[in-house]
Amino acid sequence: MDSGEVLIIGAGPTGLAFSYSYGGRSRVLEKSGEVGGLCRSIEFGGGVFDIGGHSFHSPHPEVTGLVERLMEGRWHTQRRDARVLFDGRLIDYPFQRHFDQISDPAIAAECRETQRDPDATVKAENFEEWIVERFGAGVARHFMLPYNRKLWARDLKGMSCEWVQERIAGGEPVGVRRGDRARQPLSAQSEVAYPADGGFVEIFRAMARYCGPFEFGQEIYDVDAKARTAHSANGGSWAWDRLVSTMPLPALLRAIRDCPQDLISEADRLEFVSLKVLLVLVGKRLEDEPQRVYVADPQAPPHKIAFNHASSPSLRGRSQHAIMCEIAHSLQQPPAADSELERATLEWLVESRLIASLGDVAESRFVDVDYGYPVYTHDRPAIVRKIRAYLEPLGIFTIGRFGGWEYLNSDACIKQGASLASRLHRH
């Protein structure tokens, strides 16, 4: 390999966006057999499933413009339709703005009477305190605390509050207007977009046509920063001038020769949520389903349901429809056995009237996502800064959801990849 080439580990949104934007020689290594990363799609039996459920929405005009150009008109935009399943009834999302729709007047009254002023300054030391301070005891007890305990699969007191304004509806700080360029949580008024044909991965397949070259099936296990080489488990070897990695930070540090053990130990303190994603193929069309349903009930296995066929007219028109059930777990809260979890989830879908009967299920299968969501622990920023301070002088740059340990959506990953490409191209 010629010197000056940038080696990119990972063909997810961040790695692809870097390669697309770099303007120099770059090569992309991907351990799986396709592009997309966490934004890949799976098709079987006529149903199209996204891992975790996806739609496109961005406060960054340059990212939106890029994606729309890549899709060349093969693009569908619609109003986002998300609901909360509470006490057997679908109400509008988010719960904290629509609890008056629930059927139990006593619960609605408790939420209303304890609701806090949304413009009040919140000075919380952890995520659980923030929820109670921002939304009040009623909303916290009946939805926000149980939902987030399911999603994050851990004690919320161990999480910081630095990320909430970008991810939680109603979490914006005082003075922030919806429409500001900083990311705001999706609302009932949000317009979201999706490829007109196929799954969400079509965005990244379109981008990949301008990236690369690619080498698939290459899992990096050894990085020699002195010799500036990288080696894969199946014998591949590459020289690099600079290395851009989207690998999870603990895995990257373990792959680097002579990486200080204390730094590896620091990386091992970074916490994350893993996912069991149950893909349910329904052998008929479902009518009037929302795009997303959020579930706080601790007895229900999933915390989020995505009806992927509601993403575009093309998918709605298929004879088979796709339901994605996302179930979080962690070392602190391990999952049940797959067979038990699958049975409980399918039975719950019927009991909740999200599908009519078990006979409607044509097929179901699990996808395991080891790294689903990075957790914002109190020590996360300092650990990430320390790791980057060690890596960048070696010519190694780490970005993306688990390369930077940030809860990024695909549009933010694209922006981050493009920004690093611009920075490295200038130097």
pLDDT, one tens digit per residue, over 227-277 is 999 999 999 999 999 999 999 999 999 999 999 999 999 999 999 999 999
CA 272 – CA 251 distance, rounded (Å):
13
Q: What is the per-residue pLDDT across 329-387, written as a single tens digit (0 to 9) for each?
A: 999 999 999 999 999 999 999 999 999 999 999 999 999 999 999 999 999 999 999 99
Cis peptide upstream of residue 59 (ω within 30 degrees of 0): no
Q: What is the per-residue pLDDT across 2-48, written as a single tens digit (0 to 9) for each?
A: 346 899 999 999 999 999 999 888 999 999 999 999 999 999 999 99
**H/E segment holding residue 259:** none
CA nearest neighbour of 84 among 127, 144, 135, 141: 144
Please provide residue 155's backbone torsions phi and psi, each rounded to the nearest 5 degrees.
-70, 120
Q: What is the per-residue pLDDT across 45-103, written as a single tens digit (0 to 9) for each?
A: 999 999 988 999 999 999 999 999 999 999 999 999 999 999 999 999 999 999 999 99
**Can you list the domains of the chain with their CATH numbers?**
6-40+201-270+377-426 (3.50.50.60), 82-189 (no CATH)
CA 282 – CA 280 distance, rounded (Å):
6
Q: What is the pLDDT of residue 251?
A: 98
* 250 within 8 A of 270, measured Cβ to Cβ: yes
Q: What is the pLDDT of residue 1?
A: 36
CA 51 – CA 411 distance, rounded (Å):
16
Chain centroid to CA 394: how far? 29
**Which residue type, as a one-letter code, is found at position 329?**
H
- What DSSP letter does each residue of 213-231 carry, written as one string? -EEES--EEEEETTTTEEE
Given pLDDT bands bounded at 50, 70 and 90, which one contains residue 182? Answer: low
Alpha-carbon distance values, 313 to 72, 298, 381 (Å)? 17, 34, 42
Q: What is the pLDDT of residue 174?
A: 44
Q: What is the pLDDT of residue 59?
A: 95
Mean pLDDT value across residues 127-145: 95
Q: What is the pLDDT of residue 171?
A: 60
Residue 237 pairs in a beta bridge with 231
Given pLDDT bands bounded at 50, 70 and 90, which one contains residue 427? Answer: low
Mean pLDDT value across residues 138-152: 97
pLDDT more than 90, % of the chain: 87
CA nearest neighbour of 62 among 357, 308, 419, 406: 419
Q: What is the pLDDT of residue 18?
A: 98
- Structure-block tokens of residue 298: 């601790």
Q: What is the pLDDT of residue 166?
A: 78
| Gap between the terminal Cα atoms of the chain | 20
Spell 272-311 as b/e; 16+ CB within 10 A means b. bbbbbbbbbbbeeebeebbbbbbbbbeebbbbbbbbbbbb
Chain centroid to CA 66: how far? 20
Given pLDDT bands bounded at 50, 70 and 90, which one contains residue 396? Answer: very high
Q: What is the per-residue pLDDT across 26-37, written as a single tens digit (0 to 9) for each?
A: 999 999 999 999
